[in-house]
Chains A and B, each alone.
Chain A
Amino acid sequence: MTFLRRAVGAIAVAVSLWAAAPAEAQAPTRTFRWAWQGDIASMDPYARRETFTLAFLNHVYEGLVRYNERLEIEPALAVSWEIVEPTRWRFRLRQGVRFHNGAPFTADDVVFSYERAAAPNAIFRGNISPVRGVEKVDDHTVDLLLYDPNPILLRGLTDWGIMNRAWAVANGADRPVEPTRGHDSYAALNANGTGPFMLRSREVDVRTVLVRNPNWWDRPQHNIDEVVFRPIGSAATRVAAMLAGELELMFPVPLQDIARLQAAPRIRILQEPELRVIFFAFDVTRDELPDSNVRGRNPLKDLRVRQAIYHAIDIEAIRRVVMRGASVPVGTLMAREINGYDASFDRRLPYDQAAARRLLGEAGFPQGFEIGLDCPNDRYVNDEQICAAVVGMLARVGIRVNLSAVPGSQWIAKLNARQSSFYMLGWAGLPVVDAHHFLSNLYMTPDGRFGGNNYGGYSSARVDELTRAIGSELNQQRRQQMITEAFQIVQNDVATVPLHRQPLAWAVREGVRAPQAADNVLRIWTVRMD
């Protein structure tokens, strides 16, 4: 009897193996190997506010809403929402969603995720700063309570990944990674989200492997079984790895290597203008500039001097020579895709050396003057070369510029200390992709809370007033009018001199379809490969 039972068991196993074998043979694993210039900071979704890390984590953790490729909001873990009161938003949560460990997704997870993300030492808390609290209404409904009415709330929620309460508590990960206290977390190397991919393994700075989530709530557009992400810091090595066929996709591609990769068989270059606009700004607060030869007066406070600098910049030459034809010159800091963009203020002052000289003369500097310029040399595409070109252009109208091009961490330290007279900066408006982000960070009078990146101290009472109103105006039409007015003011004041949208370039292997979005974010759940 026993023998018979065993034999039947063995046959059953053999049959099932035989049946399973061809199925496996038919579906080879599609592994998508890709590289970027650095590693993600952590698997913990609240340990950092940095586009690349959050975008990567978005494959594992999902927000209540998400961006599509055209940077429009679409439902994710929330199916619908309504504004109950101006400061109370009600979200209906998707039913039947399960975390990677099988736990069901409920309102408790959203409440927990808010408490964890808004903890006093969580670096991420700045991203959900408009939210005062989260209340559970029932198992699949939550209310988000806001400090003020907020027209761009949904945009700010896109990279707030929802974690599983039970999992976090069971693993002692109910507090985020806190660098200030040296607090490590289980969630730094492990993950349990609801997203299209699950974390299989992570070696810091070496490789992070994700596998397809077979129980994802959404219908996958992708056909990837496994994702292998490997950071490669050296650009030359990244290019070589692509050429050697070790990668399906990599970015950023250095501009000087584009032609070389394009010439290689089986490699394509995807190129688009990025959201990020590169621009110059000025110190308009100090009465005397330490790096200028003008005494007793700050020439940059004079509108005519700022206009002269704008007129002296030959943006076409920069595009053609420095950017190898790959940049898109702009007349405002907002890219076309940003919410609030309007063509009416996207106009450049023309390149006109005579006008520049005339304006300098009117301002009392017929012989020009001397000034310093601060640029990074590793932050933006060809940043140092752009500055060097501008130095030459300004010299032709009499402004002698002493360029200081240093590593980004030194350059930003100088800007933060308000030590720079004239500086380069780039802005993409991420994560909210809205005009308010530009106005509140770059143009509002610095007061500790706002104007955090307005390192030159530009100040306009009207812009401040408009920006505050734009931050809470729910009527789209009125809001747009105020945005247009504010941008016209900063435009007329030449508070900043916009240059161009920098190009973003990805290299992909033939047979890989990877939609490229202007925020320079790779969304692997939209990638298909042969």
Chain B
Amino acid sequence: MKHWLRRQRYLADFTLAALARRRVKNTGLIVIYSIIVFVLASAMMFSAALRHEAGTVLAKSPELIVQQLVMGRHEMIPGSEIEKLAGIRGVAAVKGRLWGYFYDSVNGANYTFMVPDDDSYDLQPGEAILGEGIGKARDFTWDTAPLFVTSLAGKMVKFTVRETFADDSALLTADLVLISEADFRSFFDLPPDVYTDIGVSIRNEREIGTIVQKAQLVMPNARFVTRSDIERTYQRLFDWREGLMTALAAAGVLAFAIFAAEKASGLSAEEAREIGILKAIGWDTGDVIAMKLWEGGLISFGAFLAGTVFAYIHVFSFQAGLFEPILKGWAVIYPDFALAPYIDGLQLATLFAITVIPYTAATLVPIWRAATADPDQVMR
């Protein structure tokens, strides 16, 4: 064991010196390698962070959402349905929710108007809480400038802005306007006691299926959307985009693998001579292979580290500036936000598998070929 470790140390020492001697050749390789890792890592980290963000938000939403359907289209739901749902065993709380979209003709943007579920906001009539995108879209000169909007009926309404959401949840709050229930009903001309939909909280998550079955009997016209349905849809959406990026990047990885194989087999005369010398003075094929594997390992490690770190900075400090258009979608109010840094082992293992493994696979045969050089060539 001790000998094994020391042998590895000599090999690593020699490899480092060899890498330093061929600085130009290796720098090019590492730069291209790092770029491949960087692109893939950025795509993966970005969509994982979005997934994570969506998951965090969903964790706060009710387990089940009930929507009224009329001829297959979404309709306002009467408040009387709340009682029916509350009567089902296992239901912890039922709450009518009010939300809707509003097209702002001033700047062509869509806002989401919403009455907060959470009573702790305690919004008074005339007050509003805004997402940070709205102030930007309206060119607010100061943070709490009042918001003027024209309702559908043509009425001009003024809201005093109590606060603006912080940037860190901007993905979901950028276009959000929270107002009181009274304001909401008058702004959209809604009758009292109807709701956009109903949120149902359920005590035991395993009973959701049973509760949905029972509720379907009571409300045959309703659509039931569970939280895990939404979660699944989100996950699939993000996964699919990420997967598509990866599949596209596969072409890049393949090109890189070919390039790496080329580099590894095109030994310079100098390198071939060195290997010949080493073999002649008592290095065995296995020693040379081990030395070359060290070389590949150090290059991979460096490129993997550099690519991952730069991707991390790119995604979490610069909001993935290079990929935004592909991964986020298009909208006038574009959320300008910092993603919460989030990485897990699966991502790193996957990243490793799709970058380092192709590189290693591409270089093994050339390495072996170089290592089996005849030792007597140094005599010729």
Asked if chains A and B come from one complex, the reply is no
